[in-house]
Amino acid sequence: MSSPEAPPAKRALSAGFGRLIVLLYVVFAVSAGVRAGYQLSTKFDQAPVSYGLSAIAALIYLVAAVAIVRGAAGVALAAVSVELVGVVGVGALSFAVPEWFPEASVWSHFGSGYGFVPLVLPAAGLVYLLRRR
């Protein structure tokens, strides 16, 4: 008599393409965080909105990376969604009201200062997370 087969083990959220996404989120969390920390501590008065937004972006990148690594799909999905709304909103505002952004943030001009990765990364992250559901 044969025993029923166990269902295949579900792959970790951070496996495969998820590893690349996590790597990019960690790199962006560190780079945006260090840059924002320096800017906030040395020249906050020059562009507090831009520098503050970069710090918020770094925090969101970190939350997304940790959530993916821990397999917290709901938290990851929320973080990546907030990130996409942020980069699209700030990107549009940075063109519409440039005086609000005398210095660039990670998200200004849709992430052009970072090769548009801040715009592409949440889109890729959302597709990946939604396909994993």
pLDDT band at 8 (very low <50, low <70, confident <90, very high): low
Amino acid at residue number 115: G
Residues 23-48, mean pLDDT to the nearest whole number: 95
Residue partners of 3: CB distance under 8 A and separation at least 6: none
46-82 pLDDT per residue, tens: 999 999 999 999 999 999 999 999 999 999 999 999 9
Tell me how far CA of residue 42 lies from CA of 28, 35, 45, 47, in angstroms: 21, 11, 9, 11
The predicted model scores a pTM of 0.88
Residues 17-31, mean pLDDT to the nearest whole number: 95
Say what the pLDDT of residue 3 is: 58
How far apart CA 108 and CA 19 sit, in angstroms, is: 26
